[in-house]
Amino acid sequence: MTSGFYYEVIDLSRIHWKPIKLSPQQTLALGFAVIIVLGSFLLWMPAASVEGSSLSYIDALFMATSATCVTGLILVDTATHFTHFGQIVLLVMVQLGGLGFMTMTTWFAIVVRKRISLRERLVLKESLNQISIEGIVRLIKNVVVYSLVVESIAACIFAIRWSFEMPLGKAIYYGVFHAVSLFNNAGFELVGGYRNLTPYVDDFVINTVSMILVILGGIGFIVMSELIDYPKTRQLSLHSKIVLSVSGFLVVFGALVIFIFEFSNTHTLGPLPVFDKILAAFFQSVSTRSSGTNTVDITSLRQATQFFMILLMFIGAAPGSTGGGIKVTTFAILIGAMITMIRRKEDVVLFRYRLAQEYTHRALTVTFLSLLLIFIVTMLLLATHDYSFLMILFETTSAFGTVGLSMGLTPHLTFTGKIVIILMMYAGRLGPVTLSYALQPKNKKELYHYPEGKITIG
């Protein structure tokens, strides 16, 4: 009788390996996660920080998430903590995060004349919030060209302006960095000292160019493409009409409210001449939509102004843009649905177009999931941080809307707080609906319907 170990040789060639099929939403979620992780390791390297001030990995992960999700919340001063290498890593992540990694990947595929598959077109559709895949490759070409042209023009103007106060090489570097950051609504800056753009509150050139960049990046590439083609086509889609009208209203209304609330505040608009007050009010109104830059001290604003800015950050920019929030189209549909209900009508009508109920359901879902996320994160931060409710709500909404404005809480976040805000920025960039689709298993078609019921509402 013998004893011993027995083993069986498995022929791996006979095993049928099934490739993992990811949905478009899962591909987007995974792609952004990969960029964040890679970027975090680069920022963690000693070469990314000035000598003797390397980041811990959690801080590097936070900064990488903030850049890739084009948020702009910072734990350390971008201008003084990072070397040129670290700043360039941040800028590359901002560009990839703003335009979307699939946009950049597709652009390179087009350059080398690689065929774009149907699956890739579906992911692009999800990335740019398009209704269909028709014309998606043409839109990608336009997106990259428009972005590079706008950023280049703005970089030249910034460089000329800053050449009056610094060497030409540094001015060009500043111009490129801020043009890319502002167009992608990221909010990273090189002024230093956590001052953001407050030293330029009365600078007409920097304020105007910055606002134009933020607005162009915030209205979305679909709208930008239609505006460029408008002289030939003489028509705009319903989407573009809603985005332009609602965005314009929110910018003007926001500036008016900020101007009124802060007119006599000696720490913000009070000491400024009337024209500079108007300029600063418009800048803050535009910035709260998603850019994260400011020319007045956010912590010195009145509480009414800070709460109003939370509302603007929650609404955010347009679909398919570099901004976050629930989006202006969602806000428009909600207002339209409310008016329809009050008037006892059946259809939501915008610009003489009737909207299918699917849009109202999606708008309600996006808004409810967004509010739920903000409530949960706010409660978690309140439980782990000894700061005011308004400060924590402001920071949470800023992270969700990928805005980047801060009342000063971010540098004081605990380890738990950093993790929570990282997840919030990630969810805000992907969108709550896209993220929920990515996390759930494959949807199966229902083979039956329940009987209809009736309840009382209101």
In eight-state DSSP terms, residue 49 is: B
Question: What's residue 346's pLDDT?
Answer: 84
pLDDT single digits (tens) 345-403? 888 888 888 988 888 988 999 999 999 999 999 999 999 999 999 999 999 999 999 99
User: Based on the number of CB atoms within 10 Å of its own CB, is 6 exposed (0-12), middle (13-18) or buried (19 or more)?
Assistant: exposed
Residue 250: pLDDT over 90: yes
Question: What's residue 8's pLDDT?
Answer: 57
Residue 12: pLDDT over 60: no
Question: What's residue 455's pLDDT?
Answer: 73
Residue 234: pLDDT over 90: no
List 349's β-bridge partners, or say none: 354
**In which element (H, E) is residue 282 found?**
helix 274-287
The ranges assigned to domains in the chain are: 20-438
Of 14, 16, 25, whose CA–CA distance to 124 is shortest? 25
In eight-state DSSP terms, residue 187 is: -
Residue 181: pLDDT over 80: yes
Integer Rg of the chain from CA:
24
Q: What is the rounded distance in angstroms from the CA atom of residue 233 to the CA atom of residue 16?
A: 53
Residue 1: pLDDT over 50: no
Residue 331 tokens, joined? 């806000």
DSSP letters, 307-333, are HHHHHHHHH-S-TTSS--SS-HHHHHH
Q: Binning pLDDT at 50, 70 and 90, where does residue 421 land?
A: very high
List C-alpha distances in Å: 12 to 5, 9, 20, 177, 292. Answer: 21, 9, 18, 51, 53
Residue 172: pLDDT over 60: yes
Average pLDDT, the chain: 85
DSSP letters, 390-406, are HHHHHHHHHHHTT----
pTM: 0.88
